[in-house]
């Protein structure tokens, strides 16, 4: 299966900007999550981020918080999520990136956690509450298992931190587009453009912009500013949760296609 880095190499060879949708596992149920992964994969996703529902999602806004709460109320367990991933991942073109808070990882033990997600076919890992200073214990053992750990850069990160994070990050660099939590916003802050330039000056690694991107115009804007990937979360989670699962799946299919069209060469 393709790694996150390999996926970006391929895209770069074709001068394409990647689309990375995010959905929360277990909302409304894991069967729908499995189907959503397949739908996204054939509707233009290049990589897919799968959120592990957590009781205290500090970095998430109301949409993803609510999705996590619903998933947990339905009894979604990490083992069930990984079992589902193990079945679905081999049928997908897109590498899967797991988005999880740190506590469920240390609860299982870092080594065991990495072993379990690698066995399920996960290729990348985003841990929003694990900053650079605390990531040493994760980067090496993850690399040993073929899991790339994607670190985040924020608008508040000073230049020397940006360089250090870019140096350590694997797969790509996740550029948080706003000072804030995840969620739909009406426009993308203009300073993202400068941040992409700052990052580009210190690294050749791919850059993915996320948090707040909710419309095809945003995606296009971010691509034009030089981003290698656009990450869209809450806007997918919200659509998938509206109406019946079939309606939700139909809705994310159309949305995924429209996002893809907005960042594809004319």
Partner 1 sequence: MTTTPLPRSLQADSSPQSRPDSLGRFGKFGGKYVPETLMPALFELEAAYQQYRNEPDFQQELQGLLRDYVGRPSPLYFAERLTEHYARPDGTGVQIYLKREDLNHTGAHKINNALAQALLAKRMGKQRIIAETGAGQHGVATATVCARFGLKCIIYMGVHDMERQSLNVFRMRLMGAEVCPVASGTGTLKDACSEAIRDWVTNVETTHYILGSVAGPHPYPMMVRDFHAVIGQETRVQAYEKWGGLPDILLACVGGGSNAIGLFHEFIDEPTVRLIGVEAAGHGVETEKHAATLTKGRVGVLHGAMSYLLQDEDGQVIEPHSVSAGLDYPGVGPEHSFLMELGRAEYYAVTDQQALDAFQQLSQLEGIIPALETAHAIAYLDTLCPQLTGSPRLVINCSGRGDKDVLTVSKILNP
Q: Show which residues are catalytic.
A: 49, 60
Paired tokens of 36? 């959503």
Given the complex with partner 1, which of 91 and 107 has the nearer CB atom?
Answer: 107
Return the residue of 14, 15, 133, 204 that touches partner 1, per CB under 8 A: 133
Quickly list H helices, the chain.
Answer: 4-13, 30-42, 62-73, 78-88, 102-108, 110-120, 136-144, 159-168, 191-202, 216-224, 234-241, 245-262
Q: Which of 6, 73, 74, 106 binds partner 1 (CB under 8 A)?
A: 106
Q: What is the closest distance, in whole angstroms, from the C-beta atom of residue 8 to partner 1 in the complex?
A: 21
The stretch among 88-96, 106-114, 202-210, 229-237 that binds partner 1 (CB under 8 A) is: 106-114
Residue 196 sits in the site that holds partner 1 (CB under 8 A): no
Considering only residues 67-96, where is the footprint of partner 1 by CB under 8 A? Answer: 69, 72, 77-78
In order of 95, 153, 161, 188, 257, the CA distances from 157 in angstroms are 28, 6, 6, 18, 33
Distance CA 95, CA 1 (A): 8
Binding residue for partner 1, selected from 9, 31, 56, 254, defined by CB under 8 A: 56
Using alpha carbons, list the distances in angstroms from residue 67 to 62, 71, 263. Answer: 9, 6, 27
Answer yes or no whether residue 210 interacts with partner 1 by CB under 8 A.
no
* Interacting residue ranges for partner 1, rule: CB under 8 A: 54-56, 58-59, 61, 65, 69, 72, 77-78, 102-108, 128-134, 151-158, 161, 165, 176, 179-181
């Amino acid at each position: 299966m393709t790694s996150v880095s390999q996926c970006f190499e391929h895209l770069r060879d074709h001068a394409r900007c990647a689309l990375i949708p995010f959905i929360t596992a277990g909302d409304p149920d894991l069967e729908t999550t499995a189907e959503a992964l397949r739908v996204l994969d054939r509707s233009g996703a290049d990589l897919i981020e799968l959120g592990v529902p957590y009781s205290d999602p500090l970095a998430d806004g109301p949409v993803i918080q609510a999705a996590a709460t619903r998933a947990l109320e339905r009894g979604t367990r990490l083992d069930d999520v990984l079992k589902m991933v193990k079945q679905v991942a081999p049928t997908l073109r897109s590498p899967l990136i797991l988005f999880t808070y740190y506590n469920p990882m240390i609860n299982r033990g870092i080594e065991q956690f990495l072993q379990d997600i690698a066995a399920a076919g996960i290729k990348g890992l985003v841990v929003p509450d694990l900053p650079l200073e605390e990531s040493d214990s994760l980067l090496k053992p993850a690399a040993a298992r073929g899991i790339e750990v994607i670190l985040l850069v924020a608008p508040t990160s000073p230049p020397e931190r940006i360089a250090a994070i870019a140096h350590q990050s694997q797969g790509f660099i996740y550029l948080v587009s706003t000072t804030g939590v995840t969620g739909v916003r009406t426009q993308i802050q203009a300073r993202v453009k400068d941040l992409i330039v700052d990052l580009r000056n210190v690294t050749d690694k791919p850059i993915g912009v996320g948090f707040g991107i909710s419309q095809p115009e945003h995606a296009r804007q971010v691509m034009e500013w030089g981003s290698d990937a656009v990450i869209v979360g809450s806007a997918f989670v919200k659509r998938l949760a509206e109406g019946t699962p079939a309606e939700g799946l139909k809705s994310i299919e159309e949305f995924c296609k429209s996002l893809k069209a907005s960042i594809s060469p004319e």
